[in-house]
Amino acid sequence: MSTLSVSSAYTKIRALVDNITTDALPPPSSIVAGVESLPANLTAHGIGEEATERHLLSDICPGFNGPKTSPNYYGFVTGGVFPIAEVADNIVTAFDQNVSVHLPEQSISTIVEDKALSMLVELLKLDNGKWQGRTFTTGATGANVLGLACGREAVISTRLRAAGESQGVGELGLLAACARAGVKEIQVLTTMGHSSLYKAASVVGIGRASVKDIPFSAREPWKLDIAALERELKREQDGIVSIVALSAGEVNTGRFATTGSSSVAQIRDLCTKYGSWLHVDGAFGIFARSLPENAEFAALRTASCGLDLADSITGDGHKMLNVPYDCGFFLTRSDATLSAVFQNPNAAYLATSGPSSIPSPLNIGLENSRRFRALPVYAVLLAYGSAGLAEMFTRQVRLARGIAAYVQESAEYELLAQGEDEKGDYGNTHIIVIFRARDEVLNRELVSKINETREIYVSGTKWDGRPACRVAVSTWRVEVERDVELVRGVLEGVSSNG
Ligand SMILES: *Cc1c(COP(=O)(O)O)cnc(C)c1O
């Protein structure tokens, strides 16, 4: 049916990627032309593979934005793609392994996936013996769904067992389980929880309205108020049970809900005492644990310290690890809870061939058929090692701090999300810088003016109810001095033309 040469197409793709200017955004005309080139409808016979290849390369590709191809795309938290990760991802497509059942005599894929997960656990300075429940997901949103699903299973099943029931939520369903366990409500306690946490709460039947913010103060809203936490957890006497979700790397500020080992230990003790599940959303922030162990990063390592006391952790591969979309991961110390939720029962044809320490991925995560998204992660961890990745994380943090320092010193801009006594101290700056223009009129248009330059791309957000601008550094292509100068130039240009 096909005569297309994939390898010659791939050479053309590479040439296109390599020739793209480093602009963060494509020219608007390229997007318009691309949209105009789309067919009106599905046709009966198609246009053929060769014409389609030409269309993809010359009409669609020019309309893409530059998180991968530009070193200066600072929107969202996108990561870039390491060349070795791109190679691995193409292997994934070329061989199209379905990593769902552990079949060690038929494919090496589940064994490599398991190795990638254990290397990842090492990179995060967690104990492989304790973090046995682990799987790759489509992203941090997927991992947060797993986290809340596990939390829901654990907090209700503990009470079911106390009531003499042997089955959990996975068997009984949420409504019957809650009725039998005397649970009236499940709440998720957090600070500045990522929007995906609310979505996850909806997906697992807890509800978006059940996510509660318990900030320490208006000045430091990312920090969890431990006294308020205890008050909320105590409501379990009234049948209101809780899952705690720590923001470990809050998306607007990069700041952490906890302030080090002793604060996490306190939260852990409270969760244990009141039968709550402790989840960490560390999509990008969890990698602060992998920074070099020196004075430059002491504050960040302290902030991310102690998170190994949690029951579960969400992380993203497609952000800080610079692997292609889509890739996230979920880790839990309770592999029993993970399989209680995700067991895919009674399908003999999906059974693994014998006893093994590697679980079939389809029994510990959402999907049955799955992409081999572990391979790019494996390739990156193998190629760079912990010190190689720490060197990249170092450059990213230094660029963010360089931008923060410029913003703080400039007369035109104001650095936001600084805690008590932190003026002029960027030790808590990870990879995100949030700021605004002092001039109200400029501030309202700041994000669009910056992005109109197309030299860098930033995200807009709100702080204290007013518009703010956010830079997130996450690509391996960072060159600190070059990029600080570029960002400074753009910000100076925007404020002087304002
Ligand atoms: C990006 C992010 C998410 C969502 O991740 P996806 O990979 O887009 O699903 C969740 N939590 C935090 C803190 C994030 O930064």
Give tens-digit pLDDT for 99-144: 999 999 999 999 999 999 999 999 999 999 999 999 999 999 999 9
Mutate to test the pocket of ligand 1, among 188, 192, 252, 316 (most ligand atoms within 8 A of CB): 316
Q: Do domains 94-380 and 385-497 have the same CATH topology?
A: no
CATH class of the structural domain 94-380: alpha beta
Question: Residue 352's pLDDT is what?
Answer: 72
The candidate with the shortest Cα–Cα distance to 188, out of 228, 238, 137, 246, is 246
Looking at the CA of residue 316, tell me the nearest atom of ligand 1: 7
What's the 282 CA to ligand 1 centre distance in angstroms? Answer: 8
What's the 197 CA to ligand 1 centre distance in angstroms? Answer: 9
pLDDT at 178 over 80: yes
408-417 pLDDT, tens digit each = 999 999 999 9
The DSSP code for 404 is: H
pLDDT over 90 for what percent of the chain? 92
The DSSP code for 250 is: -
* More confident: 447 or 3: 447
CATH code assigned to 385-497: 3.90.1150.10
pLDDT at 198 over 90: yes
Looking at the CA of residue 144, tell me the nearest atom of ligand 1: 10
Find the mean pLDDT for residues 315-339: 98
Asked whether the beta carbons of 193 and 211 are under 8 A apart, the reply is yes
First to last CA, the chain: 58
Kindly report the protein residue whose alpha carbon is nearest to atom 3 of ligand 1: 140
Please give the sequence-ordered ranges of beta strands (E in DSSP) within 57-131, or none if there are none.
73-74
Question: Residue 353's pLDDT is what?
Answer: 65
The whole-model pTM stands at: 0.97
Question: Residue 21's pLDDT is what?
Answer: 73
Q: Where are the domains positioned within the chain?
A: 1-63, 94-380, 385-497
Identify whether 326 is preceded by a cis peptide bond (ω within 30 of 0): yes
What's the 326 CA to ligand 1 centre distance in angstroms? Answer: 12
Q: How confident is the model at residue 393 (pLDDT cuts 50, 70, 90)?
A: very high
Question: Residue 340's pLDDT is what?
Answer: 96
DSSP line for 64-105: ---TTT-TTEESTT-----HHHHHHHHHHHHH---TTS--TT
Weakest-pLDDT range from 38-47, 138-147, 344-353:
344-353
